[in-house]
Amino acid sequence: MKCLIIAAGKGSRLLSRGDSKPLVPILGIPLIERVIRAAMEAGADEFFVVIGHQGERVRDFLAHLADRLAVRITPLVNDDWDKENGLSVLKARDVLLEPFLLLMADHLFDPNLIRPLTTLTLGDGEIALVVDGNTGNPLIDMEDVTRVKLEDDALPDSSEKSRSKKIIGIGKGLADFNGFDTGIFLCSPAIFKALEQSEEKDGDTSLSGAIRILAAEGRAKAILLDGFWIDVDDPAAFRRAEQVLLKRLRDKPNDGPVARYLNRPLSVRMSRYLVQRDVTPNQISLFSFLCSVLAAGLFMLGGYFFLIVGGVLAQFASIIDGCDGEVARLKYQSSDVGGWYDAVLDRYADAFLLFGLTWYLLVAEVSGGVLLIGFMAIIGSFMLSYTADKYDNLMSERVQAGGKAGLRMGRDVRVFLIFLGAISDMVLPVLVLIAVVMNLETLRRVKMALDGQH
């Protein structure tokens, strides 16, 4: 589906972040790139971007972005970029002759807000606007948001019919409203004629003016959807957008309890700064692995001091290990190979850490029992990781069926136990605990998988 993006304005309220609003980076990625990537994820495959202020800089960026993403991006120039946004939409009149998505370069959103539009069939001369029916949305700047009045005040339920309503009013100064304009549209070419009519009738060249013309004819409908979106229009909104993007990193369903409540809050803070640096997720994975190897080496040196330092370093490596995926998601660098590379290094790191603790005990007392416990701890660690994918899929199916996911025992718990054992100098009990718990959890997963076949 074709997509038109308005990116012509100056964005004077965001000048503190950069003199070209579409190119202002948020967590390391320019606004316009985040919008294009989100639209691509939702199904858009060709883009037309209206440029104006700092047009050449934006044009050069888009050319390089098109090469990187292997997608067609055509710039359209609006010399009247300092006027109302409807003039930018009119620049696409001769190139968009079929229904198209219309987005704003400074509106960030969840791709799920667009997906329903890519399969929506418009009536003759209709347009559709995604409307946020949550009038208490904390991300909204009430002084600047465009308000929408729908045909009734009913909130959307699960039925598709209730989520599609006619728009009867739109504007920033609207006193009676029950929704917000998200800046996400599915337009037919009728939008161009409506813009011309709005200018001729009221001297109004805003996009809202055209929507009012169509609404008066019953041809503007709202699609009520829930999801993240934000207009990044000033420094306060910029900070809110950063906070939400970082918060969304914490919602990883496969996180264990230590990762969810301890590691992730800390790693997200680190990732906020790492995305501003020229560092790749694979480099972060390697750094985390090297920290674990160093921790294992400290364990092998013997002595309580090195044991404590090694334990702290192991837990630090576990926290850093979350940053590679977070940075990858924030900078759109996720890949199957990267995930596999991280998993391989994690398995090596686990083996080194558990072997280091076993060595620490053997230095004090050579014992076949210690070797057996260390071996079982390493085997249990490996098998728990090996069964993780199947287990996570089973838990996902259980949640979708209305059940609970239950407690996930994973690497985060294992490394945290190593940390506790090291700082408390209770290495043998912790190794026994890891050996027992990890192997029992593996057997439980195997039984659950086998039971699921019947």
The answer to whether residues 14 and 87 touch, using CB atoms and an 8 Å cutoff, is no
What is residue 261's DSSP assignment?
Answer: I
Q: Is the pLDDT of residue 405 over 60?
A: no
Q: What is the pLDDT of residue 56?
A: 95
**75, 83 in Cβ contact below 8 A?**
no
How far apart are alpha carbons 444 and 379 in whole angstroms? 15
Residue 89 has pLDDT above 50, yes or no: yes
Q: Does residue 161 register a pLDDT over 70?
A: no
Q: Which fold has domain 250-451?
A: Four Helix Bundle (Hemerythrin (Met), subunit A) (1.20.120)
- pLDDT, average across residues 158-164: 52
Query: Average pLDDT of 224-231?
Result: 90
DSSP element (H, E) containing 77:
strand 72-77
Q: What pLDDT sits at residue 451?
A: 77
| C-alpha–C-alpha distance, residues 182 and 104, integer Å | 9
Q: Mean pLDDT lowest for which of 1-15, 223-237, 386-400, 437-451? A: 386-400
Class of the CATH-defined domain 2-237:
alpha beta
SS3 444: helix
**Residue 297 pLDDT:** 97
How far the first Cα of the chain sits from its last, in Å, is: 44
The answer to whether residues 295 and 314 touch, using CB atoms and an 8 Å cutoff, is yes
If DSSP codes are grouped into helix, strand and coil, which group holds residue 334? Answer: coil
- From CA 128, how far away is CA 215, in angstroms rounded? 10
Residue showing tokens 């420094």: 235
Percent composition of the chain: helix, strand, coil (DSSP 3-state, to 5): 55, 15, 30
pLDDT, residue 453, reads: 64
Task: Average the pLDDT over 133-153 and give the result.
Answer: 87
Q: d(Cα 430, Cα 436) in Å, to the nearest integer?
A: 10
- Long-range contacts of 10-19, Cβ-Cβ distance < 8 Å, separation of 24 or more: 10/53, 10/81, 10/82, 11/53, 11/106, 11/233, 13/233, 13/234, 13/235, 14/106, 14/232, 14/233, 14/234, 14/235, 14/238, 16/235, 17/235, 17/238, 19/54
Q: Where are the domains of the chain?
A: 2-237, 250-451
Per-residue CA distances from 275 to 288, 316, 326 (Å) = 16, 19, 9
- Per-residue pLDDT, 225: 86
Pick 441 or 448 by higher pLDDT. Answer: 441
The Cα 41–Cα 36 span in angstroms is 9
Q: Can you point out the beta strands (E) in 214-303?
A: 220-224, 229-231
Q: Residue 341's pLDDT is what?
A: 95
- To the nearest 10°, report the CA torsion of 159, 162, 163, 169: 180
On average, the pLDDT of the chain sits at 90
Residue 3's pLDDT band (boundaries 50, 70, 90)? Answer: very high
Q: What is the pLDDT of residue 157?
A: 47
d(CA 280, CA 282): 5
Tokens of 153: 């005040």
Categorize the per-residue pLDDT at 401 as very low, low, confident or very high, splitting at 50, 70 and 90: low
Q: In percent, how much of the chain has pLDDT > 90? A: 70
Q: Is the pLDDT of residue 218 over 60?
A: yes
Q: What confidence category does residue 223 fall into, taking pLDDT thresholds of 50, 70 and 90?
A: very high
State mean pLDDT over 44-68: 96
Per-residue pLDDT at 407: 64
| Rounded mean pLDDT, 312-326 | 96
